[in-house]
Structure 1
Amino acid sequence: MSFTLAIVGRPNVGKSTLFNRLVGKRLALVDDQPGVTRDLREGDARVGDIRFTVIDTAGLENANDESLPARMRRLTERAVDMADVCLFLVDARAGILADDIVFAEILRRRAGKVILAANKAEGAAADAGVIEAYSLGLGEPIRLSAEHGEGLNDLYSFLLPIEEEFKARADANAPDIEVEVGDDDPDAPRPITADRPLQIAVVGRPNAGKSTLINQIIGEERLLTGPEAGITRDAISVQKEWDGVHMRIFDTAGMRKRAKVQKKLEKLSVSDGIRAIKFAEVVVVLLDAEIPFEVQDLKIADLAEREGRAVVIAVNKWDIEDEKQEKLRNMREAFERLLPQLRGAPLVTVSARTGKGLDRLQAAIMKAHTVWNRRVSTGELNRWLSDMIERHPPPAPQGKRIKLRYITQAKTRPPGFVVMCSHPDKLPTSYSRYLVNGMREDFDMPGTPIRLVMRGQSDQNPFKGRRKKNAGALKKHLGSLPKAKD
């Protein structure tokens, strides 16, 4: 059992930089402009031998209406309530501002334990700001430089008694656990556990409802939402046991057309979303029911397929659609026509606002994951290949017949197959597509990416000339033996 530490403070005091320093990775987006972070981001942090969970929060704004800054403040206050320790960060170079005094009073009332730290404290120019931090009445400030990694030893001294307290509490409440050890099947799909949950990325265009959908799945307002497009900037992950299955769901920034992405911050957000796709096992492409299958939607789905992820197409805002049956029929036809590489992938309709259709979405995700892990025996594959060749033989370019000798499955996640054949470079792409489509239908692998590799095999008999070679070696060996005496 480890404790949770929330980093709070005004915008642009270096909270995300310190978060990245503590987790040892560049997880949070960092930019010179204030207000980059909007959602709560959690990470596994380490200072020396102390391990804990750290939460990066949005900058505290002095607003209480329904505006975006006010919603960000309420989300940060929620992090303060749920954290065991709050690290209140101030800017040593800017000094103590009026907002710092207001937020110090909020933390004094709401937080159980507060550690004060003056960031950007490298050099003599920050001395005055560090001394001024004493006026907040939160004890001695830690002199930090998140950018250069200075002051972490002092932070360690503050965290050590907290870690010892939580460790003692965990030891007192720890139950006795019996562990059964058994043999694991290397070819079996990995077990989904709380430590290794199923990784899901929700992607789509801006304002498709990705954050609202995830909030509905986890049953709480964990992610910042609103009518404004492009609220989400970081790829934020949340963990949830959904119908008995442990899942980690990534909320990503909306991806616009590349030509429209000009600002550096938006480029960083899109790169973060692409990275989430690469780490995911199942990608949910969320469409807007009013304008489904725009060019950008197709590019996002194609990206997920090229990365080899299992894909589920979800159509949001279905509750406001009038002609549901006709709309669904048209969407299925467009899906088969515009995304042939994902033929048969699940297409489900949901309403992130009301929660309708989430049971179908969960079932589609689990089915896509099962297909993504599917393995077919070599015997089944070769019987299937013989039938496919008999039904439609491969072409004979320039009169040279292409022989498909055998097929085997080389990998899963996604399924990958190798066909040994003669003249693989002359086999047309259309015939490979014929085999892939037949594989989808005959082995029940709809929608998942299938990798089919043609590998050359020589027609030459490997045993040709071997008898003559062996006979010569035997004759030489017999000649070297000593002759028997009469």
Structure 2
Amino acid sequence: METPLVVIAGRPNVGKSSLFNRLIGRRQALVADQPGLTRDRQEATCRIGGRMVRIADTAGLEEAPPESLSGRMRQGAATILEQADLILFVVDARAGILPPDAHFGTWLRRLGRPVLLVANKTEGRVGYANAVDAYSLGLGEPLLVSAEHGEGISSLMADIAAALPPPATKIRDEDVEEAEELTAAEDPGKPLKLVILGRPNAGKSTLVNRLLGEDRMLTGPEPGITRDAITLPLHDIEGRAYQLVDTAGLRRRARVQNEIEKMSTGASINAMRFAEVVVLVVDAVDGLHDQDLQIARLVEREGRAMVVALNKWDAVEDRDATRKAVSDRLERSLAQLKGIPVVTLSAVTGASVHKLLPAVRQVYATWNKRITTSALNRWFEDALGRHPPPNVSGRRLKLRYVTQATARPPTFVVFGTRAEGTPEDYRRYLVNELRNIFDLPGTPIRLDFRGTVNPYDDKD
């Protein structure tokens, strides 16, 4: 049975995102006391009245020319409202009913979808007294809540459950529990967590729309349109599932000054930390910037697999020179991710976008790779024979054996007498050998060195 869709709508700064976070039980949408913070719709699934419900938070409804950013935001909200099983029309009780509320209230009545009128910010005498003005909208009795303080949320959830269309078939409680356990389990069919990162205006949202096959994310010439980290379901042509996350552009820290951009940056970095694979989108016309490399190093430090997407390839004049410049810079400045896959594509035209997900699957497989201890130690013996460990402070390093501790990313432990003192250049030698011999391109490799106690060590 299809999950019913509940859409939260209203003019800017009435508390829609705060209400969204309250209903789903976590802080997913960015919240600040500034109108127009939400631009792309956020979605999440939660249980209301014993039933799984899809909740959507939308951009504030404003009158604006269709070609403007506000006009495009309104169109995006209107599209999802037409699909809603239930609309929560939110007004600000402290501010009272304003002309835009009346205008959009009339529009919602004509839309013909079920509507619950929610009067938010009713804490205190002023908010409570002003809430009665909401009757003038002709949308029934206002439901009084304070999303910020959590007041009235339980009653609202009961009203939502009562207003939803009845389920087509009855679902047993044990079926719901089994489904939740299966979602949480580590099974091969679970979605691959794929996060799109990059500088502002590199074409991340356009690429996401191209992968989805629909204009889901707001795009345009203005840099920094995306503010939230938006999670979206995706299936490739072979039916494999992805949890796709579009993020706000990451600028150099010194240039991030206003509070909203700091929040957006934090959401992008947090999304990356929960990723399995990151696609770093680079503007091929501008070339590989220092900030692109900074983002790549951050991904490597977090131990995530990565693919570089050279976007806007259709606008590149000298493709051979551009490809060589990017490859040389990656080789020189990002040696810790040697062999990282680079896919040239155009999100606008769709050229070569079909090559991206296969590259993602490949680096994901490498990121999960496990190597047997016997194969590792045959390689280890050969590597030590070709390039013996150096002396440290006049004493020999006795590296004895190696084993793989974990995958995701591949992590190895080398044991031996005074192994913890292994110089950095010899560590790099072993990592490069591991990468080449066992075919581990484009993934972080962790190599830990642990010393063993030798009771006769002081007699060497």
TM-score (norm 1): 0.88
Distance 1:192 1:212, change over 3 A: farther
Match of 2:398 among 400, 403, 408: 403
CA drift of 1:458 comes to 1.7
CA drift of 1:157 comes to 3.0
Give yes or no for contact 2:93–2:128 (8 Å, CA) kept in 1.
yes
Where 1:166 maps in the other structure, the secondary structure is coil
Give yes or no for contact 1:114–1:138 (8 Å, CA) kept in 2.
yes
Structure 2 match to 1:166: 166
Q: How does 1:35-184 map to 2 (within 5 A)?
A: 35-47=36-48, 49-163=50-164, 165-167=165-167, 169-171=168-170
Match of 1:362 among 332, 357, 370: 357
Give yes or no for contact 2:93–2:122 (8 Å, CA) kept in 1.
yes
Structure 1 match to 2:231: 237
Q: How does 1:166-245 map to 2 (within 5 A)?
A: 166-167=166-167, 169-171=168-170, 191-193=187-189, 196-243=190-237, 244-245=239-240
Which shifted more, 377-386 or 425-434?
425-434
Matches of 1:42 and 1:111, distance apart in 2? 22
Q: How does 1:16-31 map to 2 (within 5 A)?
A: 16-31=17-32
Matches of 1:67 and 1:430, distance apart in 2? 55
Which shifted more, 149-158 or 68-77?
149-158
Where 1:222 maps in the other structure, the secondary structure is coil
Give yes or no for contact 1:192–1:245 (8 Å, CA) kept in 2.
no
Give yes or no for contact 1:80–1:111 (8 Å, CA) kept in 2.
no
Percent identity at matched positions? 49
Q: How does 1:245-256 map to 2 (within 5 A)?
A: 245-256=240-251
CA drift of 1:191 comes to 4.1
Matches of 2:145 and 2:105, distance apart in 1? 18
Question: Deviations for 1:344-386, whole angstroms, at most 9, x for unmatched residues?
Answer: 0101111010111112111110100000000000000000000
Q: Which has the larger radius of gyration?
A: 1
1:291 corresponds to 2:292 = no
Which shifted more, 371-380 or 91-100?
91-100
CA drift of 1:208 comes to 0.3
Matches of 2:295 and 2:390, distance apart in 1? 35
Question: Deviations for 1:261-317, whole angstroms, at most 9, x for unmatched residues?
Answer: 110110000000000100110001110112222111110000000000001111100
CA drift of 1:398 comes to 3.1
Question: Deviations for 1:417-476, whole angstroms, at most 9, x for unmatched residues?
Answer: 0010111232101111101000110000001001000001122389xxxxxxxxxxxxxx
Distance 1:355 1:192, change over 3 A: farther
Question: Deviations for 1:149-190, whole angstroms, at most 9, x for unmatched residues?
Answer: 111232133123245x433x1449xxx9xx9xxxxxxxxx95
Which shifted more, 432-441 or 77-86?
77-86
Match of 1:447 among 438, 442, 446: 442
Give yes or no for contact 1:95–1:128 (8 Å, CA) kept in 2.
no
Question: Deviations for 1:210-253, whole angstroms, at most 9, x for unmatched residues?
Answer: 00000000000000000000000000111110122101111110
Give yes or no for contact 2:339–2:442 (8 Å, CA) kept in 1.
yes
Give yes or no for contact 1:7–1:55 (8 Å, CA) kept in 2.
yes
Distance 1:111 1:334, change over 3 A: farther
For structure 2, list consecutive stretches of 5 or more residues without a partner in the other structure. Answer: 179-184
Match of 2:359, as an amino acid?
Answer: A
Where 1:37 maps in the other structure, the secondary structure is coil
Where 1:25 maps in the other structure, the secondary structure is coil
Where 2:307 maps in the other structure, the secondary structure is strand
Give yes or no for contact 1:85–1:111 (8 Å, CA) kept in 2.
no
Matches of 2:247 and 2:337, distance apart in 1? 22
Give yes or no for contact 2:64–2:70 (8 Å, CA) kept in 1.
yes
TM-score (norm 2): 0.93
Structure 2 match to 1:472: none
CA drift of 1:112 comes to 2.0
CA drift of 1:48 comes to 5.7
Matches of 1:397 and 1:252, distance apart in 2? 46
RMSD: 1.8
Give yes or no for contact 1:192–1:198 (8 Å, CA) kept in 2.
no
Matches of 2:112 and 2:203, distance apart in 1? 32
Which shifted more, 56-65 or 209-218?
56-65
Match of 1:166, as an amino acid?
Answer: P
Q: How does 1:225-374 map to 2 (within 5 A)?
A: 225-243=219-237, 244-374=239-369
CA drift of 1:44 comes to 2.2
Give yes or no for contact 1:121–1:130 (8 Å, CA) kept in 2.
yes
Question: Deviations for 1:98-136, whole angstroms, at most 9, x for unmatched residues?
Answer: 111111122122252111110001122123321111111
Where 1:398 maps in the other structure, the secondary structure is coil
Give yes or no for contact 1:39–1:236 (8 Å, CA) kept in 2.
yes
Matches of 1:291 and 1:318, distance apart in 2? 11
Give yes or no for contact 1:45–1:52 (8 Å, CA) kept in 2.
yes
Aligned residue pairs: how many? 444
Where 1:82 maps in the other structure, the secondary structure is coil
Which shifted more, 393-402 or 136-145?
393-402
Structure 2 match to 1:480: none
